[in-house]
Structure 1
Amino acid sequence: MAGSEETLKKKLQDENEMAESHETRTLTDKQKISKESLTYSEKIQDKGKEPPEPLWTTFADSVVKLRIDHSCSQTPITVHQMFKETVDKYGPLNAMASKKNGKWEKITFAEYYNLSWKAAKSFLKLGLERFHSVAILGFNSPEWFVSAVGAIFAGGIVTGIYTTNSPEACHYIAYDCKANIIVVENQKQLDKIMQIWSRLPYLKAVVLYNDSLSERHPNLYTMEEFMELGNEIPDATLNDIISSQKPNQCCVLVYTSGTTGKPKGAMLSHDNITWTAAHASRAGDMQPAEIQQEIIVSYLPLSHIAAQIYDLWTGIKWGEQVYFAEPDALKGSLVNTLKEAQPTSHMGVPRVWEKIMEKLKDTSAQSGFMKKKVLSWAMSISLERNLSCSGSDLKPFRTRLADYLVHAKIRSALGFSHCQKHFSGAAPVTTETLDFFLSLNIPLYQAYGMSETTGPHCMSGPYVYRRHSCGKAVPGCKVKLVNEDADGNGEICFWGRTVFMGYLNMEDKTKEAIDDDGWLHSGDLGRLDKDGFLYVTGRIKELIITAGGENVPPIPIEDEVKKELPIVSNAMLIGDQKKFLSMLLTLKSALDPDTSDPTDNLTEQAREFCQKIGSKATKVSEIVATRDQAVYQAIQEGIDRVNMKSTASVQHIQKWTVLERDFSISGGEFGPTMKLKRLAVLEKYKDEIDSFYKE
């Protein structure tokens, strides 16, 4: 054992020297590197002295210059330093709660830190190399959190992989990030890795949690076995690694969805994580535990930056208690967890809020006449008050009565009785959804950012709120618009401590994203009002440019169609390089409780719409197969109303069709966070689209 310990120390010394000196790499002719991302030793040779740090890099073992702003100049710290501060302040408080055999089991921050320490030593024992990855493939759990923190303590990089990924998609990420260890949730995910293991030259071991091993394999461990592997690694060895870490080094990799090409690995530094966890959350009014311990429910994919920064890193920073939902959360069990956890803050992507809205509308449609009238009365009162310019309550008795009779009961049924902040992020949210929740006295605070800004760069909150706006830039960060048009819309650009280090091994893509002055270009269109509130109005890559050269942003038109036609679930505008605009429509259908896939049955709200216009249809197939006259006429009339509101005839929808099945993740139309994959939809429904434009 002494020999292996000596080997490990020697290896650590070598890796530390590499991190400090950044020795010159041997590059092929095709791997030429720009001056901005030269390694330390190359710059020293070039200038004869140590150069200033670059703003970006494409190498996992490099460092970058931190974008410190005098208005918010928090001392840069590592993830370990942040966690140690938390343990000192909140050690006895509960950090995590997960359900085992029907009972909630809780772990304190002190226990959480100790488990992460043990995991770090076990990763070292398995051969985790500095700046190589621990990839995690599984649903949210204490094991996910402990593996992530332990990987960083051990000098590695944590990399999440979506559970919906195919084996080949898993291979791309695991190979690209040089994963030394992969942590998987269950047999289903393990099977994916077993298929590709032989093609992963950096992979040394796999760890399985939430399942027992059906058969033994070399270098395959259960979580219980794994946690004991590092017992013989001295604490001093791990301490040496931790003390060598710097805030401007990479510790997290977040891979983009890959909807516009190969997934890109956005490298996030310790400072990206620790600074954003501190300041973006406070901009959203999240409270430190000494004031009020926030309670949140973790259910969105942790491989996405929105959930990871909100659930994992902010949770550590402010001493929050995180309840883990069941893996079938989005299939219906989430509300049960919310009722038991009673969160003080909740985040959802727009599609989650839309599904809650549709469920409430369905329930209302099945209610008696009097209940419907009371609900309608209460919602109209609240919406009127919340939309009033002053925000003052001219008739407080009516408002309190509406809240007592209706809104409080709805919030209780949703598990939101104690919830003070409701966030929406990761995609645009529709006016219909915003207004629906506003009418229940649930304002949705929008956050805006991307993987490349460590999540939220702009935040709304109780004290920074305007309807339709995603708030203001987080203090210490900046936003500007470039290439503004006559209406004040321009590309949104970012500057600040949230901005990522660069894309792993992708110099060209990094240079496309970060300009010569160091500003990160989002690819999104937006406008700023006189008070600095940002409004996202579209996406440059989604902007439709017609054959006549007219620029048409699709999202406002799609939202207007859904607002006019309550039967429509999804609307996607078509027309890039075409002579006119057309649209694909899907109808609201009930979800399969087991798979969460759309069924053929219309929702209660959709059936109610049909009855009002004189149709007896109860299934999507009935409407599409017979081209139901009443429904198709109502849709055309709704499209006509949308066209009448448009500012120019070029924005008129001239043709449309109703698809046989609603969009879904399994159908390929949505990504893991239920964001519309436009290119995938264009390819899948190519025949339907081509039919619009046949002469």
Structure 2
Amino acid sequence: MPFNLKKNTINEFHKEVIRKYEKRPFLYFVDDEPISYAEYGQKVTELRKKLVSLGLKKADSVVLLGPASPNWAISFMSVMSAGFVVVPIMEDFPDNDINHIIEDSNCVAAILAPSYVEKNRLSSLSDKILLSMDDFAVLNELTLHHDESSLTPFTDHCAYLTLEADDQGCYATEPEDVAELLYTSGTTGFSKAVMLTHNNLVTNLYEGTDLIDECFDENAILMSLLPLAHSFGSTSAFLSTMYKGPRICFLKRKPTPEYLQTVFKKVKPTILGGVPLIFEKIFQKKIVPVIESKKFLKKAIQFSPLLRKGFYKVAGKSVMNYFGGHIKCIIIGGANFSEQVETFMRDAKIPYLLGYGLSETSPLLTFSTLKESRFGSVGKAVRNTKIRITHRDASGIGDIEVTGPQVMKGYYGKEDETAEVFSSDGWFKTGDRGILDDDGFLYIKGRSKNVIIGSSGENIYPEVIEILLSSTLLIEESIVFLEDQQLKALVYPDQDLFFSQYAGDSQNSQFQKDMDDLIKDINRKLPLSSRLTKFEIQKTPFEKTPTRKIKRGLYISDY
């Protein structure tokens, strides 16, 4: 049940977490000993006081830029609980985008990995107070000057300039104050900044984990494979799980299948969180090759549900062992999930849950439970949240609109763009299309702006085709779009297979034949209007957002 807080602010939430779990182990790197919740609380207080001593005032914005780590988590909580506005930035963003965010957010300070300073990579840092994320040491000498010219949309009056922090390094904060400025990982142009209030975050962080309470006890260990600077990582994988008092383990370097296998064996996590791509790749690398190597098995899986379930159940034990053997649930969100992989996880009895949300909604809108879920669905609306489907087509699929306490205050400095994403009666337009069943389960079909209108006026969802393509051994990833009134796939081959069997030559006759056969096989699974007529090879990996979505605007004309 949600905490009974005096008011819905991050600091009140933080204090209750420390009070409830102070003696439990909390944050740690693989191979290190965890610090306790009490030690974490002390580090948060120390950092808040340091920021105040450097001259930061209520509602000043502070950038976080660095890898997921205990110190990233400490920084995140310190900034918000002090009454400042946190601005997390994805490490994967190009330097040009990072400079844009630093300048656009009007930040006065940054807590960052020292490498950004040592290499002089970011020109926008020259007039900011800089602290090392390694040890919170101050990296430069700078004096802040606050006056009316420094007002931002977070502070539309000058009264905050006279406020004093208390002896814990906290300014008085209200639920409707902005807590986080989150730059969306859009697929076109510069990111927009989402303003999330304390109330947005606190009301949303209870959702999800309350529905899987059976997965949390004093021995629970979360390993999140999500970036912390993304809303799913910071809210759902940090704040929401912190509410239940588990240990949270961080990787020391970027994950590879080999490194992850070693880590899972050491850590033995009970809860995993990640984007669909991670689990789809595990299926592709561990299960698909076995199926493809045996014609009888391949046909049996296609035509005999009983034999398929039997094979998947056996294979599932191997996958559970790969994860360390102690998994109670796997939380998946951030993108569409392959039906083939979901079928495997369901048949294999791997405990998984799907959720849905956006940066603009803090993020969680829907979630499932281990006892109540439906194949292909991202679950039901979470507490105090309503979903409606507008502009439906003949099949009932339409635009997903929502209302609830988690919906953002607006886009920072962009009143017109904020107005565009709200209906006349105040519902938020998600930009996704989907359908609700009679019991309230939501099924996502694709992004509204990705929908292709067929020659007869029918809606074609390219994501459906792309998932089928990427579920094959030969294709790593793909995008589908309309070109000269024909459906075309731009595909990036699986590099191991491409070079081992075809010498990396896309003109290889056997490669061309295998691709033709693959497209024919995919088309047999699609309605006539959604069938591919041509393909082209992408020679380099697609550029992606932090949640591994391809930046379509870079590859599709007039997107």
Q: Same fold (TM over 0.5)?
A: yes
**How many Å apart are 1:548 and its aligned residue?**
7.1
Q: Does 1:420 align with 2:346?
A: no
Partner of 1:328: 254
Partner of 2:73: 145
Superposed CA deviations along residues 314-343 of structure 1, whole A, max 9, x for unmatched, are 132111210011222247423322222212
Give the 3-state SS of the residue equivalent to 2:373 in structure 1.
coil
Partner of 2:243: 317
> Match of 2:130, as an amino acid?
V
Q: Judging changes above 3 Å, is the alpha-carbon distance between structure 1 residues 379 and 652 closer, same or farther for their aligned structure 2 residues?
A: closer
Partner of 1:59: none
- Residues 351 and 674 in structure 1, CA contact (< 8 A), matched pair in contact too: yes
- Residues 60 and 84 in structure 2, CA contact (< 8 A), matched pair in contact too: yes
Which whole-Å CA distance do the structure 1 matches of 2:334 and 2:224 have between them?
15
Partner of 1:671: 545
- Residues 181 and 193 in structure 2, CA contact (< 8 A), matched pair in contact too: yes
Q: Judging changes above 3 Å, is the alpha-carbon distance between structure 1 residues 386 and 533 closer, same or farther for their aligned structure 2 residues?
A: farther
- Residues 137 and 163 in structure 1, CA contact (< 8 A), matched pair in contact too: yes
Q: Judging changes above 3 Å, is the alpha-carbon distance between structure 1 residues 179 and 191 closer, same or farther for their aligned structure 2 residues?
A: farther
Partner of 1:504: 412
Which whole-Å CA distance do the structure 1 matches of 2:302 and 2:353 have between them?
20
> Match of 1:181, as an amino acid?
A
Partner of 1:20: none
Partner of 2:490: 584
**How many Å apart are 1:287 and its aligned residue?**
4.8
Greater Cα radius of gyration, structure 1 or 2: 1
Counterpart selection for 2:133 from 186, 194, 209: 209
Matches within 5 A, 1:523-672: 523-545=431-453, 550-563=458-471, 565-575=472-482, 578-590=484-496, 602=498, 617-619=501-503, 621-622=504-505, 624=506, 627-648=507-528, 650-661=529-540, 663-664=541-542, 668=543, 670-672=544-546
Partner of 1:343: 269
Tell me which moved more, 446-455 or 292-301. 292-301
**How many Å apart are 1:188 and its aligned residue?**
4.3
Which whole-Å CA distance do the structure 2 matches of 1:251 and 1:654 have between them?
49
Tell me which moved more, 141-150 or 159-168. 159-168
**How many Å apart are 1:507 and its aligned residue?**
0.6
- Residues 343 and 418 in structure 1, CA contact (< 8 A), matched pair in contact too: yes
Partner of 1:492: 400
Q: Does 1:113 align with 2:41?
A: yes
- Residues 298 and 307 in structure 1, CA contact (< 8 A), matched pair in contact too: yes
- Residues 482 and 490 in structure 1, CA contact (< 8 A), matched pair in contact too: yes
Matches within 5 A, 1:208-607: 208-210=132-134, 217-219=140-142, 237-238=165-166, 242=170, 244-283=172-211, 285-287=212-214, 291-330=217-256, 332-361=258-287, 364=290, 384=306, 407-415=316-324, 417-545=325-453, 550-563=458-471, 565-575=472-482, 578-590=484-496, 602=498
Give the 3-state SS of the residue equivalent to 2:32 in structure 1.
strand
- Residues 380 and 439 in structure 1, CA contact (< 8 A), matched pair in contact too: no
- Residues 356 and 366 in structure 2, CA contact (< 8 A), matched pair in contact too: yes
Superposed CA deviations along residues 82-138 of structure 1, whole A, max 9, x for unmatched, are 121112211100111124xxx412111111111101110111112222212111111
Gapped runs of 5+ residues in structure 2? Answer: 144-163
Which whole-Å CA distance do the structure 1 matches of 2:106 and 2:170 have between them?
21
Identity %: 25
> Match of 1:492, as an amino acid?
I
Which whole-Å CA distance do the structure 2 matches of 1:216 and 1:245 have between them?
28
Q: Judging changes above 3 Å, is the alpha-carbon distance between structure 1 residues 350 and 150 closer, same or farther for their aligned structure 2 residues?
A: same
Tell me which moved more, 634-643 or 128-137. 634-643
Partner of 1:57: none
Q: What TM-score does the superposition give when structure 1 sets the normalisation length?
A: 0.71
Give the 3-state SS of the residue equivalent to 1:266 in structure 2.
strand
Gapped runs of 5+ residues in structure 1? Answer: 1-70, 221-235, 388-397, 591-600, 608-616, 690-695
Which whole-Å CA distance do the structure 2 matches of 1:457 and 1:511 have between them?
20
Which whole-Å CA distance do the structure 2 matches of 1:631 and 1:452 have between them?
43
Which whole-Å CA distance do the structure 2 matches of 1:206 and 1:193 have between them?
14
- Residues 466 and 479 in structure 2, CA contact (< 8 A), matched pair in contact too: yes
- Residues 160 and 254 in structure 1, CA contact (< 8 A), matched pair in contact too: yes
**How many residues are paired up?**
538
**How many Å apart are 1:274 and its aligned residue?**
1.5
Superposed CA deviations along residues 197-219 of structure 1, whole A, max 9, x for unmatched, are 23x5xx2x111233899x97535
- Residues 381 and 439 in structure 1, CA contact (< 8 A), matched pair in contact too: no
Matches within 5 A, 1:680-691: 680-682=554-556
Superposed CA deviations along residues 287-316 of structure 1, whole A, max 9, x for unmatched, are 586x45431113421111011112321132
Counterpart selection for 1:171 from 86, 96, 99: 99
Which whole-Å CA distance do the structure 1 matches of 2:300 and 2:328 have between them?
20
Q: Judging changes above 3 Å, is the alpha-carbon distance between structure 1 residues 74 and 527 closer, same or farther for their aligned structure 2 residues?
A: farther
Give the 3-state SS of the residue equivalent to 2:58 in structure 1.
coil
Partner of 1:92: 23
Instruction: Please give the root-mean-square deviation of Cα atoms over the aligned residues, in Å.
Output: 3.4
- Residues 280 and 457 in structure 1, CA contact (< 8 A), matched pair in contact too: no
Q: What TM-score does the superposition give when structure 2 sets the normalisation length?
A: 0.87
Q: Judging changes above 3 Å, is the alpha-carbon distance between structure 1 residues 582 and 549 closer, same or farther for their aligned structure 2 residues?
A: same
Q: Judging changes above 3 Å, is the alpha-carbon distance between structure 1 residues 507 and 549 closer, same or farther for their aligned structure 2 residues?
A: same
Which whole-Å CA distance do the structure 1 matches of 2:303 and 2:252 have between them?
36
